Structure 1
Amino acid sequence: MKTKEKTLEELRVNPQQGLSDEEAAKRLAEHGPNRLAGKKQKSLLQRIFAQINDVLVYVLIGAALISGIVGEIADALIIFLVVVLNAVVGVVQESKAEHALEALKQMSTPRAVVRRGGELKEIPSEDVVPGDLIILDAGRYIPCDLRLTESANLQIEESALTGESVPVDKQADFAPETANPADLPLGDQKNMAFMSTLVTYGRGEGVAVATGMDSQIGKIATLLEQADEDTTPLQKNLAQVGKYLGIAAIGICVIMFGIGLLQGRELLEMFMTAISLAVAAIPEGMIAIVSIVLAIGVQRMIKQNVIIRKLPAVEALGSVNIICSDKTGTLTQNKMTVTEFYADGQSAKLDQLSTATDSHRILLEALVLCNDATYTAGSKTGDPTEIALLVAGDQVNLDKKSLDEEHRRVNELPFDSDRKLMSTLNMYNGEFRIHTKGAIDNLLTISTGIHRNGNVEPMTDADRKAIMDAAQSMSDKALRVLGAAYRPVPDRHIPVDEMEQELIFVGLVGMIDPPRTEVADSIAVCKKAGVKTVMITGDHKDTAYAIASELGIASSKDEVMSGVELDQISEQELSSRIDNLRVFARVSPEHKVKIVSALRQRGNIVSMTGDGVNDAPSLKQADIGVAMGITGTDVAKGAADMVLTDDNFSSIVKAVEEGRNIYRNIKKSILFLLSCNLGEIVALFLAILFGWATPLRPIHILWVNLVTDTLPALSLGMDPKDPAVMKEKPRSAKESLFHGKIGYIMLYGAIIGIATLAAFIIGMKMYTDHTGFFPLMPEGYSEDALRHAQTLAFGVLSFSQLVHSFNLRSDTESIFKLGFGSNMKLVYSFLFGVVLQVCIISIAPIARIFNVHALGITDWLIVAGLSLLPMIVAEILKVFKRSRLN
């Protein structure tokens, strides 16, 4: 960190004249405009491609092309329709392009006051160049990164960049007491001012040292561009499913082709049979169902004050096991609040402050009158600390405006960062009173008396020790401490330099940005659900720990690490220690990304919450970025996967619960689809292996996969919430969708397949002149008998899968105990599927399209009996499971 003289010399600028217009133009051409580089947005075609760039989708497209080539045009069109539907759902939900960098651009100041050629000029901030001398005053945004050359009571609010809720005192002559000043956190660089932060008090001047993408904001923009676009656990699982299904489809085709060659079948017949099996292996509706279930979950979450920007984030949030949260505005209220006071030798909570007590009233009047902020129920202006004092006064009906009118200010000694005091002279019933507030150390050195229990007494060393002990006690709780004193004077003409002498100490107040009232309960719920909360903030270590301790995040200071400590350890050491850390204080945006990366490297699914510009890179780096909707910057919202419209940490807990239930329901849908498709494969594979006719036509399989299966699967995806879901630990990020369910898929696939094949065999025997049990498949059958038998198999395949959908609702509870009415969508899907299937078989024009035969009463009874097999087996197995659990 260079001196201001050295900085001016290196930038070749005269501090009295500034740059000339010619030199500024030359530097503008060299460094470019003072704005942030934008990232090219994806086109509509690119977004559509992103939706279909999936192994499973490619397999579907391949199946559609092959179906079209062999003349199955209807099959091809239906598969393409599924692919298009999936892409449309995804693009519509994720149509909001990434606006993070665009929002960063808009945060730049539109105008800046510069000194050029010895004159002050107001220019567009885009035209600011390194070496420009920038003039600062209250209410003005900083146009670029500056090395301050002058400062007078300068305070800058940097919370959006550093996360620190209190404005920072800036001093041009600040010299850091460290061997390597470059390692200082941004919040401690008191001789620097940074782009897009706000001057709240005082004035100053600085020389531009970094513009555009070279500024601290620019570095954040670069981090956003570099952040990894990672996939969620569900996306990884579905990609894995797609890969397996693709390999299975190809493998089955090859095996069947080989068997056909050995059996001497015709080439075209073998090809069509292989295509039938490939179609059976792929649940065509699966990707559309997953997208629709996620989209419906998104709509439900809007009612929970959560807006999802990216569909897979719904499910991924349910697998989160660590929530990294920014402190300011997320866990806390983002407003300084007086919480304690000290007067009459005693400390107490603010709610015990009363104007009926003489010392309490004098303390509050001093703090309200010696104050330049304004506050009403509808608006507030000024320094957050001073606003907090006015709010404290307002709570006991001491209104700032009324007090100012009653006790008019006639003189003042403004706040100075060296004195750390402010004093005013106010009229008091024909007399006058000096009020002084500020740092307790400085206040005690100019106080000779103390107001105690209605009397003024000389201040003793014991009094000073008691006051300092009270102040230290507040500081230990990370409270910001301010003292107040007064002195009656008979004359308004007291010299200003004599105002801060022989004061009467009256009391202290302690203030902090307090935690949100509901957050502690939410963190407790997270703990029970196996979700850890980690606080990451730009605030000081003591402040961060005090808040974390109160919220139940941390129980020991050993669980706290500062940004300086982070810089001193390697990534490997951080990775080894990070499981035992709960609070990271005084950190930079780069630190936040490093922390999130280290947590993810340990196999965690990490959510990061935040609202400031400084949070944006880590929001994007995390598995799930959660931005605040009210206080959040556009940058944070643009980088996040989801936005909380009420800025309430507790909404995250509801979102986690919703995400867990959605994942559970998606898993039910996928297990249902895969077990049903395996049933189709079993029926076809066994028939071809034994050299029998094909029991199902390709259009039968496609119809079942797209219609009969799809509606129940969708209804399972909307199964009611399980209230016990938040008592479970988060599932492992590496856990497969099939975890513990391979046997389940194989069992019910076998039951459905064998039941379908049994219907086919029974039909062939019934409608062929054949007696006896063996051989299973009669010879010399007619085309009509084959069509009749295929219709029976088609009916059993459809109805058994519809019945099986009820089995998926619970692994252990009987469907008769759960009640059919608890998911009426599934009941309606079942009834709709039954009606459709009956219509296909019974209405002649439709039956001709599907090449099916009308069925009689006996046929329907056979279909009904065989279709109930999956439920009968499931209910018997559930009895055994419940007995083991009990």
Structure 2
Amino acid sequence: MWFKKSPQDVITELIVNPLEGLTTEEANIRLARDGENRLAGKKKKSLAVLFFSQINDAMIYILIAAAIISGVMGEISDSIVILIVILINALIGLIQESKAEKALEALKHLSTPKALVKRDGVITEIPSEQVVVGDIAIIDAGRYIPADLRLIESANLKIEESAFTGESLPAEKDANLIINEEKPQIGDLRNMAFMSTLSTYGRGTGVVIATGMNTEIGKIAKMLDEEGDESTPLQKKLSGLGKNLGFAAVIICTLIFIIGMFQGRDWLELLLTSISLAVAAIPEGLPAIVAIVLALGVQRMIKHNAIVKKLPAVETLGSVSIICSDKTGTLTINRMTVKKFFVNNKLNDLDNIDIINNESKILVEGMILCSDATSTGTSKTGDPTEIALLDVGIKLNILKDSLNEEHNRVNEVPFDSDRKLMTTVNSYGNRYNVFTKGAIDSLFTICNSILIDGIIEPLTEDVKTSLLNSANSMSNDALRVLALAYKEIKDENIAIDQLEHGLIFVGLMGMIDPPRQEVKPSIDLCLKAGIIPVMITGDHKNTAFAIGKELGIADNISQCMSGSEIDGYEEKEFNKIVNNYKIFARVSPEHKVKIVKAFKSHGNIVSMTGDGVNDAPSLKVSDIGVAMGITGTDVAKGAADIILTDDNFTTIVNAIEEGRNIYNNIKKSIIFLLSCNLGEILALFIAILLNWATPLLPIHILWVNLITDTFPALSLGVDPRDESVMEEPPRNPKETLFSRSMGLYLIVNGTLIGVLTLFAFKYGQYVYPDSLRHAQTMAFVVLSVSQLFFSLNMRSTKKSIFTLGLFTNKYLTASVVFGIAIQLVIISVPFLANLFKVYPLSLSDWGFVMMFAIVPLVVNELLKLVIRHKQ
């Protein structure tokens, strides 16, 4: 609680002489005791550990077992295929994971390389890692703060803390303040300075009270270190699916083997059939297909300015129901901008300013000349409020450099936080103009008149009330208001105390860090898609609400909550009320984490966007952390799952749309694979249960599994996006892969494929009673081709394939044509026919099997027609 103590008390407690600083010997003792002033991190995982973590999954274990058994039984090719699929899947995951988890490394790099401290009575520049508790640190404009400090001296000191606190403006510091609040926010600690923040104005001296992991940024690093990674919804669902499929496959294959043994079948062939069926029951291509579909989605997103660090993040985006967004730099442009001005008793938007008007010209010129900032097309330095004033001049083609040359500054009274004023004296020919800018109430004490329409009138109480009303009107819109006064003098050597006396009030300018223009339509689209945008910021409540109201995030200030109000609730109580609020202002990093966790407690999938150091813990704990690529700190980028290269909120919405489409496509692939596999299992199980001859040989099952588990399933995974996905509410995170009647859809189509295969087999036996191989060939063709035709249906369970277009997914069309063609080659080429143990089919046979194979396509199209008619 250093902020509660006076500078002298702090110096005494830390045993240091403020004039001499620490001795080198004492500094070395403290360095040995506390360690270097750097941030610690987790031990990096080796590539081997990362690789094995990719195959630590129930489905992968089952596939490995199937590969081993297949190899032992002589099915070497199938065993190799399965192992290759596992390897590809693991390598894709390894590449993605090795690029992630850089948050703590980035935090380390934030430490400044050099620091100015007093050692042995001499101001010395040392590496920031060697700064110790008790060091007297020197602060000047443009220098990063090397550690956490209790200020002991300050002169007009301002420190840029937006990446740390979320506030738009630099914080004014005062070493003489003693803060007696119990739990003040970091942004309110005006007598403190924090590691990795930037001094922008004035100078100061501070005593180091914390280094390394004990600093405020160190606490954030610790929070990042402690937050564990959670599996995404898709990972959890696929893991559960793998376990269930493995369990079901073992039971079914065991039943088939036992029943077959009782029926007196050849045990070796029965064992091979059971193993083949087990391999067919588990879509071994599924992990690779999911990884490839996600990877292709990542490539598309990169083209649209979103870099994805982890593949599963793409899918999770599709189920996002809440976007918690930082304000500064994310929803706003992170640049103070003048929006309104007041002259001649009129309040106007800046777009309406006319410098032909004398009062407007004096207001603009005075604000520019009475500033120490610089602003050009390539660089901006100084206080953001002064930069905003210079930008007004740039907009009106009044450049500071040219204006300074024409009206040279000959005297000045620097800004003082007690006076809240700054004054300059500039030459105007044979006279001089005194310009004073500052807070309106401070100017009232030094003005006795006002300039209105070219006439100097007395500054009466009524006039002051009118001016205050206009200033309050701007303040209610969360604008920061600056006033300007001036007077003409003939002698530049006038006494300083006479400069700020008897001035003429000119006007006001109101500025704010405004919303990005493209954000409002994006938020409207979010609301249309059932996604709730929430603003979380370190700025003040009124400022946050003004921006939130303009963007459509909140419509009443009762929907805003401050950090101090959050502290008044226990976690469980806060979780209950969190949904009532859309804006959280004046919050700390701990508050942000608390807010994200509260929304997640209601079953929401939460995305958190941000750019500052203070956003890193909440980016980490959210389901999807999104960092700004341009203005974002390395810390935020390291903690995030997705980085936006254009810092555009709209890109997040586009990414969500992409995520929804990707999830739908993955779901199509999964349902397609499981429907086909169910058809294969039913065909064999029913045949053996009814003591029929085996309709399919092991090589038939494995081959069908190969041609359906690869190109058609993958083609469904890259199906063109559905434009209507953003018209639907977010997917319930608890929703299974088989919800919305997809389970019934799977069973109906799987049964249909299995029954058609058996019909083809029995028809072949009826027509060719002396040729079992002929009947098996017909079953083989119907099973494979019906699945290929069924893949066309899987593009949509509602829209007709003719509405979608037969050739809009050219990959799927090519897969179907290729699959049918290769089946024709296998049956027609004698060598392959012998290898696959099939019989050459006649033209009439082909007509019959194709008629049977197209039934799933026709049935599904009729069902879609009925559904559309009912709707």
The answer to whether the superposition gives a TM-score over 0.5 is yes
Provide the residue aligned with 1:438 in structure 2: 438
Write out per-residue CA displacement over residues 37-88 of structure 1, whole angstroms, 9 at most, x where no aligned residue.
1222222222222322222222111111111122221111111111112222
1:471-502: CA deviations, max 9, x gaps? 11111111111110011111011112221111
Counterpart CA distance in 2 for 1:70 and 1:450 is 100
Instruction: Write the deviation string for residues 365-405 of structure 1: whole angstroms up to 9, x where unpaired.
Output: 11000010111222221111110000012212211011100
Partner of residue 162, structure 2: 159
Cα 1:699–1:225 change in 2 (3 A) is: farther
SS in 1 for 2:808: helix
Q: Which amino acid aligns with 1:103?
A: A
Secondary structure of the corresponding residue to residue 88 of structure 1: helix
1:503 paired residue number:
503
For the 8 Å contact 1:147–1:193, the answer to whether it is kept is yes
Partner residue of 2:730?
Answer: 730
Gaps of 5+ in 2: none
Structure 2 match to 1:299: 299
- Pairwise CA distance, 1:267: 4.1
- Whether the 8 Å CA contact 1:478–1:512 is kept in 2: the answer is yes
Give the match's secondary structure for 2:126: strand
User: Between the two proteins, what is the percent identity of the paired residues?
Assistant: 59
Residue aligning to 1:31: 34
- Aligned-partner Cα distance in 2 for 1:523–1:607: 14
User: In 2, distance between residues paired with 1:387 and 1:532?
Assistant: 34
Q: Where does 1:519-538 land on structure 2 (aligned, <5 Å)?
A: 519-538=519-538
Counterparts in 2 of 1:751-766, with a 5 A limit? Answer: 751-766=752-767
CA distance in 2, matches of 1:837, 1:628: 51
| TM-score w.r.t. length of structure 2 | 0.98
**Any conservation in 2 of the 1:336–1:388 contact (CA below 8 Å)?**
yes
Q: How big is the shift at 1:702?
A: 2.3
Q: Following superposition of structure 1 onto structure 2, how do residues 627-646 of structure 1 map, counting pairs within 5 Å?
A: 627-646=627-646
- 1:192-231 Cα distance to aligned partner (Å, 9 max, x none): 0000000000100001111011111111111111123112
Q: 1:700 to 1:41 in 2, by over 3 A?
A: farther
Residue from 854, 862, 886 that aligns with 2:848: 862
CA shift, 1:179, in A, is 4.2
Q: How does 1:283-432 map to 2 (within 5 A)?
A: 283-432=283-432
Rounded Cα–Cα distance in structure 2 between residues aligned with 1:295 and 1:105: 30
2:797 pairs with 1:811: yes
Q: Is the 8 A contact 1:337 1:513 kept in 2?
A: yes
Residue of structure 2 equivalent to 1:789: 775
- What is residue 839 of structure 2 aligned with on the other side? 853
> In the alignment, which of 807, 828, 831 is matched to residue 814 of structure 2?
828
Indicate the SS of the match to 1:143: coil
Measure how far apart 1:14 and its partner are. 1.6
1:694 partner SS:
coil
Q: Contact 2:167 / 2:537 at 8 angstroms: preserved in 1?
A: yes
| Cα separation, 2, equivalents of 1:346 and 1:828 | 70
Post-superposition offset of 1:263: 2.6
- Counterpart of 1:236? 236
Q: What SS class does the counterpart of residue 138 from structure 2 fall into?
A: strand
1:783-839 per-position Cα deviation (integer Å, ceiling 9, x unaligned): xx3333322222111100001011112223322333212222211111111112222
Q: What secondary structure is seen at the aligned counterpart in 1 of 2:732?
A: coil
1:97 aligns with 2:105: no
In the alignment, residue 60 of structure 1 is paired with which amino acid? L
Which residue in the other structure is 1:512 paired with?
512
Q: What do the CA deviations read for 1:388-431 (whole angstroms, capped 9, x no partner)? A: 00001221221101110011000110111111111001101110
Query: Is the contact made by 1:709 and 1:801 (CA closer than 8 Å) also made in structure 2?
Result: no
Q: Which residue of 2 aligns with 1:776?
A: none
Count matched residues.
867
* Deviation string, structure 1 residues 720-756 (Cα, Å, up to 9, x no partner): 2211111111110000110021111111111111111
1: CA distance, partners of 2:268 / 2:821 = 35
The SS at the match of 1:205 is strand
Structure 1 counterpart of 2:16: 13
How far 1:859 moved relative to its partner? 2.6
- More moved, 268-277 vs 296-305: 268-277
Q: Distance in 2 between matches of 1:790 and 1:195?
A: 76
In 1, Cα distance between the equivalents of 2:47 and 2:181? 53
Q: What is the CA-CA distance between 1:254 and the residue it aligns to?
A: 2.6
The letter for the 1-side match of 2:28 is A
Cα deviation for residue 236 of structure 1 reads: 1.7
For 2:786 and 2:104, how far apart are their aligned partners in 1? 53
CA-CA distance at 1:251 after TM superposition: 1.4
Instruction: Output the amino acid matched with 1:168.
Output: A
1:882 and 2:868 correspond: yes
Answer yes or no: is the 8 Å Cα contact 2:277–2:701 preserved in 1: no
What is the rounded CA distance, in whole Å, between the counterparts of 2:832 and 2:134 in structure 1? 81
Question: For the structure 1 residues 7 and 846, does the alpha-carbon distance in structure 2 shift closer, same or farther, using more than 3 Å as the test?
Answer: farther
Q: 1:774 — aligned with what?
A: none
- Whole-angstrom distance in 2 between the partners of 1:875 and 1:305: 38
State the secondary structure of the residue aligned to 1:310: coil
Q: Which amino acid aligns with 1:589?
A: P
By how many angstroms is 1:266 displaced?
4.7
- CA contact 2:629–2:643 (8 Å) conserved in 1: yes
2:794 match: secondary structure: helix
1:568 Cα offset (Å) = 1.3
Q: 1: distance between equivalents of 2:372 and 2:658? A: 47
CA distance in 2, matches of 1:760, 1:410: 103
Instruction: Look up the match of 1:127.
Output: 130
Could you report, residue by residue, the CA deviation over 1:326-380 in whole angstroms, capped at 9, with x for unpaired residues? 0000000000000011111111101111111111111111100001011122222
Residue 45 (structure 2) aligns with: 42
Match of 1:692 in 2: 692
1:136 aligns with 2:136: no
Q: Which residue of 1 aligns with 2:785?
A: 799
Give 1:777's aligned residue.
none
Tell me, in whole angstroms, the C-alpha distance in 2 between the residues paired with 1:674 and 1:705.
11
CA, structure 1 residues 786+45, in 2 after alignment: closer, same or farther (shift >3 Å)?
farther
The whole-number CA distance in structure 2 between the counterparts of 1:469 and 1:708 is 74
Q: Which ranges of structure 1 fall in alignment gaps of 5 or more residues? A: 770-784
The answer (yes or no) to whether the contact 2:100–2:310 under 8 Å persists in 1 is no
Indicate the residue corresponding to 1:572 in structure 2.
572
After TM superposition, the structure 1 stretch with the greater mean CA deviation from structure 2, 806-815 or 538-547, is 806-815
One-letter amino acid matched to 1:767: Y
TM-score where L is the length of structure 1 = 0.96
Residue correspondence of structure 1 range 447-458 to structure 2 within 5 A: 447-458=447-458
119, 125, 132: which is aligned to 1:116? 119
Indicate if the aligned counterparts of 1:42 and 1:97 stay in contact, CA closer than 8 A: no
Q: CA deviation at 1:94?
A: 4.1
Amino acid aligned to 2:870: R
Mapped pair 1:593 → 2:593: yes
SS at match of 1:822: coil
Query: Which of 87, 90, 96 is 1:87 aligned to?
Result: 90
Alignment of 1:140-151 (within 5 A): 140-151=143-154
How many angstroms apart in 2 are the aligned matches of 1:730 and 1:789?
49
Which region of structure 1 is more displaced relative to structure 2, 853-862 or 430-439?
853-862
Distance 1:559 1:589 in 2: 20
> 1:244-263, aligned counterparts within 5 Å?
244-263=244-263
Task: Check whether the contact 2:100–2:309 (CA below 8 A) recurs between aligned residues.
Answer: no
Deviation digits for residues 279-320 of structure 1 (CA, Å, limit 9, x no counterpart): 221112111111111111111111211111111111111110
**3-state DSSP of counterpart to 1:609:** strand
Amino acid corresponding to residue 165 of structure 2 in structure 1: T
Residues of 1 paired with 2:253 and 2:463: CA distance?
A: 92
User: Is the Cα–Cα contact under 8 Å of residues 778 and 849 in structure 2 kept in the other structure?
Assistant: yes
Amino acid at match of 2:621: Q
* Alpha-carbon distance between aligned partners in 2 of 1:5 and 1:793, rounded to the nearest angstrom: 93
